Structures are given as C-alpha cells and as structure tokens.
Amino acid sequence: MVIESTSIEVIETIEELQQRLNRNERKNATVGFVPTMGFLHEGHLSLVKHAKEQNDIVVMSIFVNPAQFGPGEDFESYPRDRERDLRLASSAGVDIVFIPSVEEMYPSDGGIRILPGVQANMLCGASRPGHFDGVLKVVLKLFNIVDPDRSYFGLKDAQQLAIIETFVRDFNLRTAIVRVPIVREEDGLAKSSRNVNLTAAERSEAPAIYRALQIGSDLFASGFDPETIEQRVGESIVSNSSGTIDYVKMLSYPDLGPVTQHSSEVILACAVKFSTTRLIDNIIMSTKDGTYVQNDDEQ
C-alpha cells in the first residue's frame, strides 16, 4: 500500500517486506532500520534523521510487542495511533513502514527462548522480569526480517541498547548498532510515548526527574560516591513530585557493572512510577581529562 500524496510504503506482512528488501534486489543500497512501538515523537524522528543521513533506504517498524510486557503492565493502555504515525513517518522521510499484527509476528510459539545475560539483572531487568527476553525475541525477528545494514536505538532506553549491542556482538548479527542521544521536552522531560498517559499534575511534576539526575551528575563530577548520589537523586525526585522510586542506580556503562575507577563511562539511571505510568530516564557521563563530563543530549 502507498499512502496518497506521499511515497511511503506501508507493509504488513513479513513475506512482502522480505521480498521488498531482498539483498540480491537491493544490490548496493544500504538499509537503515528504526524499530519502534509507535505513537511517534521527536525521539523516534531523531533516529530516522540519523538513519537517513547514513543509508539509502530507511525502514521503520511499528509494533507494540506483547512479549516485552509483563502481566499487569500497560500493554492494553499503551498509546496507539496508526494514521498519525504514518503521517509523521512519511514527513520525516521514512521509505518503508512495517506494521505487522501480533498474529503475523507470533503465529506460533515453539517454546525457544532467548535469554539476556548479566546486563539484564538490574535496573529495568530487575523490575520487569522477562522484559528483555521479549525485547531480544522481537529484535532478532525484526533483524532477520529487515536484514538492515545499520539499526538505530535511543539512549533513552540505555539498558536495552547495551543488551542489544552485546547480543549483536556475541552472536555475530549482521547489523551495526547506532546509538542516538536522548531527545527531551523543553522542560527537560525525556520524550516518551507514555508521557500522554500522565495526568496534568504528573506531567507538570515529571521534569523533576531530569533535574534530579542533573544534580546527581554534578555530585559525581564533584567526587561524591555512587551510593550517596543515588540517595540524593531519589530524595530530590520524591520531594519534588508525587512519583515513587522504582530504582535510582549508578553503574558502569555499557557493561552495567559496579562503578570503579576504571569505568570510562557511567550511567545514572532511574525509573519513577506515577499513578498509571512508569517513566525512565538516565544521564551518561564519560571521563575527559580524568574528570567526568555529562554526555550531551540531542539538541
């Protein structure tokens, strides 16, 4: 299907997409892949922008993946808007949108599982058992279907990105992985499809998360230890919002082990629960001339 007045192609079946992207037919054209769960915002569009700069064909998938949601999580209430997504993807210059149904992606289950390693034991992996199993399952399927040269992932989901980098490296998956910085609202809140599920009051409090992370980043640059920083960041979030802390954690990145003097990059990450919506955010800092500096977000 081709959307009127644009040249974006919308493909709903695996077979059609595999035919369209067959390596023999695409010859030397490179494919950049942007996997999403839809309800697009500027964070997703930044991935598209990077993909367009580096590839001949940009493929976006839109699939709310049930395998990565646990019981009682927000699979049902996750925001969806197909027409709006197609308009945004088209104007951002996506060439092909892959929107499969759940039945198309998971017609059967032979019981084989892909399990992440130690990087999934903390942060969101600890709070959402099985979440990264579901992420790896869909990512492997999508990589096999699209066969991209480069795949684009946001640092908003820094743990996911780290685990996928390890998966690609350890299993010799063909795609390169490109990290894309976090895109934020003007008040600092990290853009997220889930932000629309915040109440008005929660939305006005939510920038407290990034402010607290920045305080943590400053404390780290001043030499404070990870435990003190985690505690101060948690206190700041709780005293400036109605959110409850799922975790605030400082780790070495991307291995997600303890911070040591040898850690060249560290992540300060948190998850905060509001009434119906759980938000995550992070800051990654790297050493420069022996001191830590905060890596810049996307402007």
| Per CB under 6 A, 195 contacts ligand AMP | no
Annotated catalytic, 44? yes
Alpha carbons 194 and 276: distance in angstroms, whole number:
10
The nearer residue to ligand AMP, 36 or 217, going by C-beta atoms, is: 36
First vs last Cα of the chain: how many Å apart? 35
Q: What angle do CA 134, 136, 140 make, to 5 degrees?
A: 120
Let me know: does 35 contact 139? Beta carbons within 8 Å: yes
Alpha carbons 109 and 98: distance in angstroms, whole number:
21
Contacting ligand AMP (CB under 6 A), which of 183, 209, 248, 285?
183
- Closest contact distance (angstroms) between CB of 120 and ligand AMP is 16
Please name every residue paired with 177 in a beta bridge, in sequence order, or none if there are none: 151
- Closest contact distance (angstroms) between CB of 19 and ligand AMP is 25
- Closest contact distance (angstroms) between CB of 44 and ligand AMP is 5
Count of residues touching ligand AMP (by CB under 6 A): 17
| Per CB under 6 A, 234 contacts ligand AMP | no
| Per CB under 6 A, 141 contacts ligand AMP | no
| Per CB under 6 A, 159 contacts ligand AMP | no
Helices vs strands, H then E, count in the chain = 11, 10
The nearer residue to ligand AMP, 37 or 219, going by C-beta atoms, is: 37
What is the identity of the amino acid at 282?
Answer: N
| Per CB under 6 A, 182 contacts ligand AMP | yes
The nearer residue to ligand AMP, 155 or 266, going by C-beta atoms, is: 155
Alpha carbons 17 and 241: distance in angstroms, whole number:
45
| Per CB under 6 A, 139 contacts ligand AMP | no
Q: Name the nearest CA neighbour of 65 among 75, 53, 57.
A: 75
The nearer residue to ligand AMP, 192 or 277, going by C-beta atoms, is: 192
Torsional class of 172: left (φ above 0), alpha (ψ -120 to 50), beta (otherwise): left
The residue range among 3-11, 150-158, 257-265, 275-283 that interacts with ligand AMP, by the rule CB under 6 A, is: 150-158
The nearer residue to ligand AMP, 21 or 183, going by C-beta atoms, is: 183
Residues 21-40 that bind ligand AMP (CB under 6 A): 36-37
What b/e readout covers 54-89, taking b as 16+ CB neighbours within 10 angstroms? Answer: ebebbbbbbbbbebbbeeeeeeeebeeeeeebbebb
| Per CB under 6 A, 50 contacts ligand AMP | no
Close Cβ partners of 147 (under 8 Å, ≥ 6 residues apart): 21, 23, 31, 174, 175
Read out DSSP for 181-229?
PPPB-TTSPBP-GGGGGS-HHHHHHTTHHHHHHHHHHHHHHTT--HHHH
Let me know: does 11 contact 97? Beta carbons within 8 Å: yes
- Closest contact distance (angstroms) between CB of 214 and ligand AMP is 16
The residue range among 86-94, 109-117, 175-183, 244-252 that interacts with ligand AMP, by the rule CB under 6 A, is: 175-183
The nearer residue to ligand AMP, 56 or 185, going by C-beta atoms, is: 185
Find the residue with minimal CB distance to ligand AMP. Answer: 154
Active site residues: 44
Residues that bind ligand AMP (CB under 6 A): 36-37, 43-44, 46-47, 153-154, 156-157, 180, 182-183, 190-193
